[in-house]
């Protein structure tokens, strides 16, 4: 952001903060003003440049306190997911570029070590902060460095299994890790009033903890206590605290010292507590309560809606939603309507999603059949195995998971579903390039990583009608696991409703015949390819087009026909070319010893693709109409198949 763009924003103090060093020059009394200005700035920016809104407003005080107390970037702050890290970015030298957040060529929407030394670990998928920070804390010990390491994790991310694996391991390794649990939704502990407040103040007191440590050291020097004895006393202490407060605390059960809960918006209180526990030895957890959307009333009142609201009028709180009149539905909505339609006729059908009911449109099913719809939280591995259990007892689960998040449940797909040939229907939303959330969220690997698993049927629809057909076929035309992948955004058809029909599994279709070249596509990118073919045929070329539909089992009759008629073959997919459709075609041609066939693969290169709008990224990877046209024309003219320059 330029200085000129800042003139309408009243943030005089924030304009002076270009790094945490500047922050440390402020007096305590100035920090509350800084927090107010941070909120003003974030609201002003996100009303016109959409991003993750509510979480970032909720962590303003926490972020200021952390950078005020700790010596960053030497000391490490590890953010979980990164939805809550906007204040962190603004305070660490990126204020004047924050208007480029999530834009092509601009700041990433999540912490990114390539972007700033203050971003200590890549974030995107949830629940990894504790494990990553624990590794850093142990490394600090081994290297004899005195680094403080802090992991910031939200209550939603704490539902992920990886978080519990990190917690379980924390007390078994020599480390001084601080975990901050940002609890903005889920009530983990009951409020026990004055006694609770007293215990928080006492247990975080520097004097109390010094006396506590001095006593332990004296006992240790006199050989009156061993490490085993220390752990026994810790457990006894934790049990006593649980008895007094009438709370059972999982963290102290894992020998992680627990402090809280405390008000995450009480800046002075946060600074005092962080200062007091900063140098305590051993793993510890500070539990803070925050309000999503703090400081902006509409967001405070509707946390889900304002998680990522898009553009809005900052003065009225009115969201600016572009009504898609007389336009195709979102693919996710076609899924949502179709599963309800199927469930109305079949009581065996159930819906499962890991914390993405709105994003996947599973909300349609939840509204119509709440008793047959399950949001299991951020727990993809559990969602898959849970679906397997439902299937084992005769139900038909539709397990809807974003493509990139399904990577977290790979083992469960193999061992708990595919191995047992269970009738679980995996619907992979957000397949392909997804846009502004960038490389952690692009769903480009699913075709490749699913293709090698036995017993799976893998398919992708050409349009909304075929999505409905595939959902119906997965339900009634198949008895084992079935994978359907489809992209983010609008479909192709205004009239998306149709009578569903069974498709022959493993059979594609010829879209059009041709003489000069065969193009084989899978999924909605076939529409883009069709447009490119039309452009080239205006120049006199004759190009055949096949929609393979199923990656597995692949249509070998179709491939035999292609091999018998064409010397030039091009495969096109909105996924990585390494291991996907193109690889499958090459493997088959090689196995059949088909010679003199020139196969060109078009798809996502073997690189992590940056963030930006979907049209911008399609252009970058040359999978938009001009890019595919250029690549096809190059093949037709016998030019070298050049890869996109990213």
Q: Which residues are annotated as a binding site for thiamine diphosphate?
A: 83, 124-126, 156-157, 184, 296, 380
Is the bond into 553 cis (omega within 30 degrees of 0)?
yes
* Three-state secondary structure of 545-584: EEECCEEECCCHHHHHHHHHHCCEEEEEEEEECCCCHHHH
- From CA 568, how far away is CA 543, in angstroms rounded? 10
| From 257, 284, 292, 631, active-site residue | 292
Contact status, residue 423 vs residue 479, Cβ threshold 8 Å:
yes
Token pair for 134? 């624990």
Question: Could you tell me if 108 and 156 are in contact, meaning their C-beta atoms sit under 8 angstroms apart?
Answer: no
**Closest to 237 measured CA to CA, from 222, 252, 247, 225:** 252
- Cβ atoms of 207 and 280 within 8 Å: the answer is no
Annotated catalytic residue 408? yes
- Known catalytic residue: 341? no
Nearest to 180 by CA among 156, 151, 147: 151
Residue 141 annotated to the active site: no
The binding site for Mg(2+) comprises 155, 184
End-to-end CA distance of the chain: 26
Q: Residue 393 contacts by C-beta under 8 Å, 6 or more apart in sequence?
A: none
Separation of alpha carbons 349 and 338, rounded Å? 12
Q: Of 252, 341, 380, 622, which residue is the catalytic one?
A: 380
Cα radius of gyration (the chain): 28
10 Å CB burial of residue 97 (0-12, 13-18, 19+) is middle
Distance from C-alpha of 417 to C-alpha of 425, rounded to nearest angstrom:
10
Dihedral (C-alpha) 418, 424, 425, 430: value to the nearest 10 degrees?
Answer: -70
Q: Are 123 and 80 in contact (CB under 8 A)?
A: yes
416, 384 Cβ separation under 8 angstroms: yes
Q: Which of 76, 95, 294, 408 is catalytic?
A: 408
Catalytic residues: 292, 380, 408
């Amino acid at each position: 952001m330029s200085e000129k763009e800042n003139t309408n924003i009243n943030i005089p103090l924030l304009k002076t903060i270009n790094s945490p060093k500047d922050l440390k020059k402020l007096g305590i009394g100035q920090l509350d003003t800084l927090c107010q200005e941070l909120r003003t700035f974030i609201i002003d920016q996100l009303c016109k440049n959409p991003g993750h809104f509510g979480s970032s407003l909720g962590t303003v005080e926490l972020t200021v306190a952390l950078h005020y107390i700790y010596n960053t970037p030497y000391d490490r702050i590890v953010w979980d997911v990164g939805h809550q890290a906007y204040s962190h970015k603004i305070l660490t030298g990126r204020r004047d570029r924050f208007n480029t957040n999530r834009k092509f060529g601009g700041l990433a929407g999540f912490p990114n070590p390539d972007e700033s030394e203050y971003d200590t670990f890549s974030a995107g998928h949830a629940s990894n902060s504790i494990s990553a920070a624990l590794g850093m804390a142990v490394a600090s010990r081994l290297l004899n460095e005195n680094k403080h390491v802090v992991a910031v994790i939200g209550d939603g991310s704490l539902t992920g299994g990886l978080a519990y694996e990190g917690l379980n391991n924390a007390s078994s390794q020599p480390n001084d890790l601080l975990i901050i649990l940002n609890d903005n939704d889920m009530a983990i502990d009951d409020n026990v009033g004055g006694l609770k407040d007293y215990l928080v103040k006492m247990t975080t007191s520097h004097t109390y903890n010094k006396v506590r440590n001095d006593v332990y050291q004296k006992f240790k020097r006199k050989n009156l206590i061993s490490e085993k004895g220390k752990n026994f006393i810790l457990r006894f202490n934790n049990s006593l605290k649980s008895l007094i407060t009438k709370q059972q605390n999982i963290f102290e059960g894992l020998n992680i010292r627990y402090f809280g809960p405390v008000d995450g918006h009480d800046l002075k209180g946060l600074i005092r507590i962080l200062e007091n526990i900063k140098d305590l030895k051993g793993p510890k957890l500070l539990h803070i309560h925050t309000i999503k959307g703090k400081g902006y009333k509409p967001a405070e009142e509707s946390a889900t809606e304002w998680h990522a609201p898009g553009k809005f009028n900052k003065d009225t709180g009115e969201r600016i939603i572009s009504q898609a009149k007389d336009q195709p539905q979102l693919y996710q909505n076609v899924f949502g309507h179709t599963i309800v339609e199927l469930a109305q006729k079949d009581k065996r059908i159930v819906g499962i999603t890991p914390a993405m009911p709105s994003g996947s449109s599973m909300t349609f099913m939840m509204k119509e059949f709440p008793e047959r719809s399950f949001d299991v939280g951020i727990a993809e591995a559990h969602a898959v195995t849970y679906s397997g259990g439902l299937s084992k007892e005769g139900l038909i689960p539709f397990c809807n998971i974003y493509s990139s998040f399904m990577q977290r449940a790979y083992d469960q797909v193999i061992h708990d579903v595919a191995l047992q040939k269970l009738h679980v229907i995996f619907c992979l939303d957000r397949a392909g390039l997804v846009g502004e959330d960038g490389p952690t969220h692009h769903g480009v690997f699913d075709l490749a990583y699913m293709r090698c698993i036995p017993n799976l049927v893998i398919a992708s629809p050409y349009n909304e009608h075929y999505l409905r057909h595939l959902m119906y076929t997965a339900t009634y035309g198949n008895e084992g696991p079935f994978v359907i992948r489809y992209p983010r955004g609008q479909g192709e058809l205004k009239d998306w409703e149709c009578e569903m029909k069974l498709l022959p599994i493993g059979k594609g279709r010829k879209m059009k015949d041709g003489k000069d070249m065969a193009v084989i596509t899978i999924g909605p990118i076939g529409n883009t390819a069709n447009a490119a073919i039309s452009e080239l045929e205006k120049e006199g070329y004759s190009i055949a087009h096949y929609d393979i539909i199923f990656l597995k089992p692949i249509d070998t009759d179709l491939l035999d026909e292609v091999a018998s008629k064409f010397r030039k073959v091009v495969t096109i997919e909105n996924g990585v070319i390494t291991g996907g459709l193109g690889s499958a075609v090459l493997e088959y041609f090689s196995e059949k010893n088909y010679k003199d066939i020139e196969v060109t693969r078009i798809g996502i290169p073997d690189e992590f693709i940056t963030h930006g709008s979907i049209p911008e990224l399609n252009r970058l990877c040359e999978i938009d109409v001009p890019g595919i046209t250029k690549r096809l024309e190059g093949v037709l003219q016998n030019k070298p198949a050049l890869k996109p320059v990213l």
